[in-house]
């Protein structure tokens, strides 16, 4: 029997039905079967789900988030030492399927949850701006942390709504919207905001093909990034994780050349680079849940509840890419994990 197409079913919390964002998403899928539920966790957290199979035709769950509208920054990101750093979870899971993604180990379900009560997120953020630990610096909020919002913009225009929320809050709030999508056109009509960073996560073409399933290829992402730069947005370049694929040095050299053939170095805000790292529990879950991928069977180092490269490998990978970038960007603009 063929798989049902993705989003053939919309599971909608009764409480979510009245929210404008829920209505807009339901209108976007007039042919999908609507299933009313009382709590998204009934569907999302159901035991014994098959992540691998669900990913082939994931379904959409519309829900109202009740708490935890912001989380403190994670030790796994480059800005973990910033006391004003937070992230939020507007949507759980992602339309892409990167082999190295921790979400497949964090959640038992591959279905996508969209929280529709944006005003509650905005209210919590406004409160957090007032309460931030270092008021001389803006609250720094990553809104596309556990997902790829721009890839999903045509379904749920989260990025647009957050950019609108940022307007007039310059100096108090700085948001990062990280993406692998080529979908800058979804925001092209908006005026660039100094409180918004658009961050493109790019990889060499061979990494895109081998490990970043469903995401656009290297050049499509670079083109989208270039369009954002030309439109006047603050753009961050992210090369993370740097993966030691065959002939990785050539691959990353070509990638950096391709970026700067297209984009003037001085027009980028900064660059974030890093290597594969993952919570050990998530890593274990992925080995159980997904089809085997070579990444999960190489000699990793396990320390402090984290699976990552040895110190030497990590320094080798980040040092090489850092050197490539430092011929184009000032040292202080390159943040490394």
How many Å apart are CA 280 and CA 296, to the nearest integer? 11
| Residue 244: partners with Cβ closer than 8 Å, 6 or more residues away | 313, 317
How many Å apart are CA 101 and CA 211, to the nearest integer? 9
Judge if the upstream peptide bond of residue 241 is cis by omega within 30 degrees of 0: yes
* Closest to ligand SF4 by CB, 202 or 228: 202
CB of 99 to ligand SF4, least distance (A): 9
How many Å apart are CA 170 and CA 282, to the nearest integer? 37
DSSP label of 16 = G
CB of 327 to ligand SF4, least distance (A): 28
* Closest to ligand SF4 by CB, 84 or 285: 285
CB of 97 to ligand SF4, least distance (A): 6
Residue with tokens 């070509």: 254
DSSP label of 227 = H
CB of 276 to ligand SF4, least distance (A): 11
CB of 302 to ligand SF4, least distance (A): 21
Closest listed residue to residue 331, CA positions, set 255, 323, 317: 323
CB of 139 to ligand SF4, least distance (A): 22
CA distances from 160 to 103, 183, 263 (A): 24, 12, 24
* Closest to ligand SF4 by CB, 54 or 126: 54
- Whether the CB-CB separation of 177 and 207 falls below 8 Å is answered with no
* Closest to ligand SF4 by CB, 222 or 329: 222
* Closest to ligand SF4 by CB, 208 or 329: 208
Quick one: the chain helix, strand, coil %, rounded to 5? 40, 20, 40
- Whether the CB-CB separation of 175 and 142 falls below 8 Å is answered with yes
| Residue 241: partners with Cβ closer than 8 Å, 6 or more residues away | 100, 274, 275, 276, 277
DSSP label of 74 = P
* Closest to ligand SF4 by CB, 84 or 91: 91
How many Å apart are CA 327 and CA 71, to the nearest integer? 36
How many Å apart are CA 133 and CA 128, to the nearest integer? 9
* Closest to ligand SF4 by CB, 105 or 138: 105
CB of 312 to ligand SF4, least distance (A): 25
Residues that bind ligand SF4 (CB under 6 A): 94, 96-98, 101, 103, 147-148, 180
* Closest to ligand SF4 by CB, 52 or 127: 52
């Amino acid at each position: 029997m063929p798989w049902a197409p993705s989003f053939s079913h919309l599971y909608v919390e009764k409480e979510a039905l009245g929210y404008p964002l829920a209505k807009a998403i339901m209108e976007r899928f007039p042919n999908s079967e609507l299933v009313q539920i009382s709590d998204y966790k009934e569907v999302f957290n159901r035991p014994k789900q098959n992540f691998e199979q669900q990913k082939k035709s994931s379904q959409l769950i519309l829900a109202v988030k009740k708490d935890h509208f912001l989380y403190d920054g994670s030790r796994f990101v480059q800005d973990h030492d910033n006391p004003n750093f937070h992230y939020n979870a507007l949507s759980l899971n992602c339309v892409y399927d990167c082999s190295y993604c921790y979400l497949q180990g964090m959640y038992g379900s591959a279905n996508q949850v969209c929280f529709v009560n944006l005003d509650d997120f905005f209210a919590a953020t406004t409160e957090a701006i007032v309460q931030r630990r270092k008021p001389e610096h803006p609250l720094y909020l990553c809104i596309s942390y556990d997902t790829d919002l721009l890839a999903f913009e045509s379904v749920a225009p989260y990025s647009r709504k957050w950019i609108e929320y940022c307007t007039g809050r310059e100096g108090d709030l700085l948001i990062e919207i990280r993406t692998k999508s080529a979908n800058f056109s979804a925001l092209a009509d908006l005026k660039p905001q100094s409180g918004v960073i658009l961050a493109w996560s790019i990889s060499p073409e061979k990494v895109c093909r081998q490990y970043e399933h469903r995401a656009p290829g290297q050049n499509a992402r670079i083109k989208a990034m270039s369009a954002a730069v030309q439109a006047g947005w603050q753009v961050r370049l992210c090369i993370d994780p740097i993966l030691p694929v065959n002939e990785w040095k050539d691959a990353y050299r070509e990638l950096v050349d391709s970026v700067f053939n297209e984009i003037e170095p001085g027009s980028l805000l900064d660059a974030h680079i890093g290597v594969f790292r993952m919570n050990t529990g998530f890593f274990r879950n992925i080995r159980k849940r997904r089809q085997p991928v070579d990444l999960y069977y190489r000699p990793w180092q396990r320390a402090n509840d984290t699976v990552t490269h040895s110190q030497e490998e990590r320094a080798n990978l980040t040092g090489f890419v850092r050197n490539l970038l430092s011929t184009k960007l000032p040292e202080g603009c390159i943040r490394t994990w």
